[in-house]
Amino acid sequence: MTDTIADRLARLGHQLPEASGPAANYVPVTRIGALAFISGQVSAGVTGRLGAELTVEQGQAAAAAAALSLLAQIDRLVEGDVTRIGRVARLGIFVAATPEFTQHPLVGNGASDLVVAVLGEAGRHARTTVGVASLPRGAAVEVEAIVELKDGRA
């Protein structure tokens, strides 16, 4: 458990993106006691809707891209020290989808699988996956998280 999120992603063939900074009047992360609330991260560069322009495989790639941005926020929060991550409590997964689309769970696995591949048991989360009409900047997937941290710092 002494390697970093970036190390683990590299072994999986992913590069840790730059964590986005504060935008306007909201911030990427707030912390209340042991809980960190992470703002919704959209799938950078992957736009379109499931059931229309995108296949399930493309949706999974979009979910993984959103999860990468989420991991970048978590990495910054714990300053690269994965031992400070207690547990990913919950992922909220929003999939841009048509009314006819039914395979949201498969798309969501693109995010869930990457989080667990990188964080192991600490990454096993509760989740809610729904199909929405549209997402910021036309993104295909948006993922938010609540994460437990182990230290008591405020």
Footprint of a copy of itself on this chain (CB under 8 A)? 22-30, 32-35, 37-40, 49, 51-52, 86-92, 94, 96-105, 108-109, 112-113, 115-116, 123-138, 142, 144, 146, 148
Measured CA to CA, the distance from residue 134 to residue 5 in angstroms comes to 30
Minimum distance from residue 6 beta carbon to a copy of itself (Å):
21
Smaller CB separation from a copy of itself, 13 or 152: 152
**Which tokens hold the place of 115?**
């989080």
Q: How far apart are CB 1 and a copy of itself at their closest, in Å?
A: 18
HSE at residue 54, side-chain half, CA atoms within 13 A, is: 26
Name which of 1 and 26 has its Cβ closer to a copy of itself: 26
- Min separation Cβ 90 and a copy of itself, Å: 4
Polymer length in residues for the chain: 154
Backbone angles phi, psi at 111, to 5 degrees: -85, -50
The Cα–Cα gap between 113 and 100 comes to 25
